[in-house]
Amino acid sequence: MRQWGPVGLACLGLAGCLPPRALPLRGIPASPALIPRAVAALPPGHVRIRFRWRVRDPQFSVGGDGAARTAAPDSARLDFVVGGALGGSGHALLFDDTLVAPGSGGVRRYLPATPLLWASLGRLAVPAAADTVVRLQGDTVRADIGAPGVLHGVVWRIAIAGGQLTSLSRLQGGRVRETVVRELDRGRIRYDNPGAHRSLTLTQIRSEPVPEFDPAIWRR
């Protein structure tokens, strides 16, 4: 049996903590024109989305009820109420590429980076890049947006099906750092950060168009 010294065991443990490697983009080569412009904006008008939410990481697990209110093309408010004995609540505001989470920062620790948070609401909001590679697999458009050869460069991997954004991943160093997957047919949206072993899951999602919101909800 092979004997592992302290250095070998440390390396083995580190390898076990690394995020998964990014696999090659699947599908046949296609044009960037297949990425619909509609996914860069929220649905027209005003929409209220209700959900149950749960955050898990190595230190804690917490959840409760939540709601998102969106206003096209690029504004949203998310509210989270903590269930159980803990109680409490918090909210976050999204204005295009700006995230505002007032208070002590408790809500902010639950949330992914702004592009991934937008992806959970179905909006593609990642930096434009000339190095965009697009593949078509059945009725699903897949694309890598970014420069994979640049040291420490970020690549955004997207999937679009039926004209809707279904997933967004942040790749860096050839590995999957963060991912949002939208399974609306199952009433679930999930964010994963494999390196931090952290996840945020939204379930029992219910969406409805509503009249214009009270302007007070956008105050910081």
Q: Residue 159: beta bridge partners? A: 142, 167
Whether 8 has a pLDDT exceeding 60, the answer reads no
In a domain, 3, yes or no: no
Number of domains in the chain: 1
Q: What tens digit of pLDDT does each residue of 84-136 get?
A: 766 678 889 999 999 998 765 567 877 898 999 999 999 999 988 878 999 99
Is residue 129 domain-resident?
A: yes
**Confidence (pTM):** 0.88
In Å, how far from its chain's centre is CA 107?
15
Peptide bond into 73 cis (omega under 30): yes
Within a domain: 43: yes
pLDDT, mean of residues 151-174: 92
Residue 183 lies in a domain: yes
Position 57, amino acid? D
Query: For residue 12, which phi and psi values (nearest 5 degrees)?
Result: -65, -40
91 in a structural domain: yes
Beta bridge partners of 50: 67, 206
206 belongs to a structural domain = yes
Is 138 a domain residue? Answer: yes
More confident residue, 88 or 52: 52
The answer to the question of residue 217 being in a domain is no
